[in-house]
Amino acid sequence: MSEKFLATANGTKGVIHLRDEIGPDWAGMISDETIVAFLTGNPNLDTIELQINSPGGDCFTAMAIYNILKASGAYIDVYIDGLAASAATVIAMAGDRVTIAKNAMFMIHKCWCLIAGNEDEQAEQIPVMRKIDDAMVDMYAERTMQSKSQIRAWMKAESWFSADEANKYGFADQIGLAAR
């Protein structure tokens, strides 16, 4: 585990701190493998407190972490205590309850992609990027109950939400802090 990823378990409660970029282990980021290793080592968790301060990262890794957390069967209690941006917001949507600190921020945008190759190869990635955006739109819309067209507009604009706005639009359920 990196210094920026800390996970502890006490009985049936686990606490996971996401304090870095989301991506592959080999790049020194927080990965789905890291989450799987923690959950495998602590199979009796019925509550997971997930504290997030992350600029985001790889969307596929974030979607895998989202799905792993949802499939864990545990109650997922998310606390955004700094920043949940980009791919980190995907992970936050796994929460059964999402709490955002009064001075924290939440940012969503359309997917980004680093592409190499000629014009034809790059053009082939556009339909893939649209599918990624569609998946994120579905996740955000399901959680927030906002229309898909509204979510798409926010993503296109690269929207930054204050805690009050994140709460108002359903990305968070309440404003507050994690118990220490």
Please state, in angstroms and rounded to a whole number, the distance separating the CA atoms of residues 70 and 50.
Answer: 12
Q: Whats the size of the chain, residue-wise? A: 180
> Tell me: the pLDDT tens digits for 92-113?
999 999 999 999 999 999 999 8
Coil vs helix vs strand at 6: strand
Is the domain spanning 5-175 CATH 3.90.226.10? The answer is yes
Q: Look at the pTM and tell me if it is higher than 0.85.
A: yes
Split at pLDDT 50, 70, 90, the class of 25 is: confident
Question: Which of 177, 170, 137 lies closest to 52 in space, CA to CA?
Answer: 177
